[in-house]
Structure 1
Amino acid sequence: MRRTDSARRIIAAPPAIVYGALVDRESIEAWLPPDGMSGRVERWDPRPGGGFRMVLTYLDAADSPGKTSAATDVVDVGFAALMPPERVVQRAVFESDDPSYAGTMTMTWNLTATGGGTEVTVSATDVPPGIDRAAHEAGIASSLANLASYVEGSL
């Protein structure tokens, strides 16, 4: 069964600036980890067909056991499409021995210019069933809030 989780946010910055933060290694390390996590990019190849590997570490693993280990989620992300400054499409695969996290999740980041900046809409399709919908949507919203703070703070 296909499942889609999503979130959206208006960011007070032009699409080109927001897009830049979606395809820059240091930027992604700063804003992508949701509240309660830190992140480290281990591999980086920012082109269609390239991608990155990110280790997300829970600050308190007792409340949120990881998919890869008790304290981590490791995800390999491929860039399926890079269309500046409108869209980034990623294919994410979690490292896990638990089959409920298996499969490839597609993350589509759509950027639309608005009078106040950029509307960012994130859609995650084919979400593995082991990922709780409410927690996932809260995590996406948290990452979007981090993105807004990161981008707006750099203007």
Structure 2
Amino acid sequence: MEAAGRIDRAERLIAAPAGRVFGCWTDPALLVRWLPPEGTEGRTEAFDPRPGGAFRIVLTYLDPEEPGKSGGGEDVIAGAFVAVDPPCHLAFVSRFRSDAPNLQGEMRMDWHFDPEPEATTRVRIVASNVPPGIAPEDHAAGMASSLAQLAALIE
């Protein structure tokens, strides 16, 4: 457990089949509609959802006073997909573009899409090696916000 650093988790039951929920992760036009947490908007600059495929997502804060982890009111997240197993699991590693030492390091996020009865899916997020500069309560709120927006989009 020590090698994984801090681990944050979130989950939500979504009233849609796993394949449909998984599809919201692999379509960049849909992804930017639900993944950016409340108070941000997003754009994809690179997106290749296959093992080894790169991605680069930019989150822009709507509050002009928010500096963002990457400066300029933005969080720039870049990395690579390490597992893409439709419709059950998707994982990627990423780094924030930031000069702040407490935001350095490679974080891994595993998204699990577990089929449940009546065409519902339990979406579970496991974030490993979370940089210490991301406050646990902020990360929890961000993941919950993304899950709520995913549910609102698909249900």
- TM-score, L = length of structure 2: 0.93
- Which ranges of structure 2 fall in alignment gaps of 5 or more residues? none
Q: Determine the structure 1 residue equivalent to 2:44.
A: 41
CA displacement, residues 21-72 of structure 1 (integer Å, 9 cap, x when unaligned): 111111111110000000010112121100310110011042x431101400
Give the CA RMSD over aligned residues: 1.1
Cα distance in 1, alignment partners of residues 94 and 126 from structure 2: 12
* Kept after mapping to 2: 8 A contact 1:61/1:70: no
Secondary structure of the equivalent of 2:144? helix
The one of 107, 110, 123 equivalent to 2:109 is 107
Mapped partners of 1:77, 1:36: distance in 2: 23
Unaligned stretches of 5+ residues in structure 1: none
**Any idea what the Cα deviations from partners look like across 1:60-112, whole Å, max 9, x if unmatched?**
042x4311014000000311000111000011110001111001100000111
Q: How many residues are aligned here?
A: 151
User: Which stretches of structure 1, 4 residues or longer, exceed 3 Å deviation after superposition?
Assistant: none
TM-score by length of 1: 0.93
Structure 2 SS opposite 1:91: strand
Q: Do structure 1's residue 24 and structure 2's residue 24 form an aligned pair?
A: no
